[in-house]
Amino acid sequence: MSSTTVAIGSDHAGFRLKEVLKAAMQGQGIEVLDVGTMTTDSCDYPAIAQDLCRAVLSRGVPGVLVCGTGIGMSMAANRFPGIRAAVCANAYQCEMTRRHNDCNVLCLGERVTGDGAALQILDFFLNTEFEGGRHQRRVDLMDPAS
Ligand code: RB5
């Protein structure tokens, strides 16, 4: 997945790592659409996740969400049909969720994952292609028939 634009968002607990990831992407010439938060003041992660998901769905770009654990962000993001958010704590998880699940929102925990590992995970997220084939069928099956 090579994209020239990436959306990013965090709550207060992920703000510092968000800034690290944003700077790294901008350094690679990627346009970063930052939906906030812009300070370490306490805020509610679901609102940020929702803004990020709307940007991902309307613009067709990948997204990155950071909170303390990555978990709350992923739960909120996965309530949107068409969003496939995955919390990744290592590069292998990220490579596989791109190859097999066509993950379009990477969730990271600033309190869980160090900067170096987070940057490596981000690299896999941005540069691993979805394999399609049988995995496309399974991705299509994720949304239950109503
Ligand atoms: C904030 O303290 C923390 O709950 C939040 O960042 C996140 O980890 C929730 O899942």
| Averaged pLDDT for residues 115-136 | 98
For 58-115, write each residue's pLDDT tens digit: 999 999 999 999 999 999 999 999 999 999 999 999 999 999 999 999 999 999 999 9
CA distance 39 to 69: 18
CA distance 140 to 14: 31
Q: Which helix (H) or strand (E) holds 8?
A: strand 5-10
Q: Output the CA 45–ligand 1 centroid distance in Å.
A: 7
Answer yes or no: are the C-beta atoms of 113 and 122 closer than 8 Å: no
Q: Output the CA 44–ligand 1 centroid distance in Å.
A: 8
CA distance 17 to 80: 24
Q: Is 53 one of the catalytic residues?
A: no
Q: Domain spans of the chain? A: 5-142
Does 13 contact ligand 1 (Cβ within 6 A)?
Answer: yes
Instruction: Specify the pLDDT at position 3.
Output: 83
3-class SS of residue 136: helix
Instruction: Specify the pLDDT at position 2.
Output: 73
For 28-58, write each residue's pLDDT tens digit: 999 999 999 999 999 999 999 999 999 999 9
CA-proximal residue: ligand 1, atom 5 (nearest): 68
CA distance 28 to 4: 10
Q: What global pTM score does this model have?
A: 0.97
Q: How far, CA to CA in Å, does 89 sit from each of 26, 76, 94, 112, 116? A: 23, 18, 8, 8, 11
Q: What are phi and psi of 89, to 5 degrees?
A: -110, -5
Instruction: Specify the pLDDT at position 143.
Output: 83
Instruction: Specify the pLDDT at position 146.
Output: 64
- Looking at the domain 5-142, which fold is it? Ribose 5-phosphate Isomerase B; Chain: A, (3.40.1400)
CA distance 144 to 70: 25
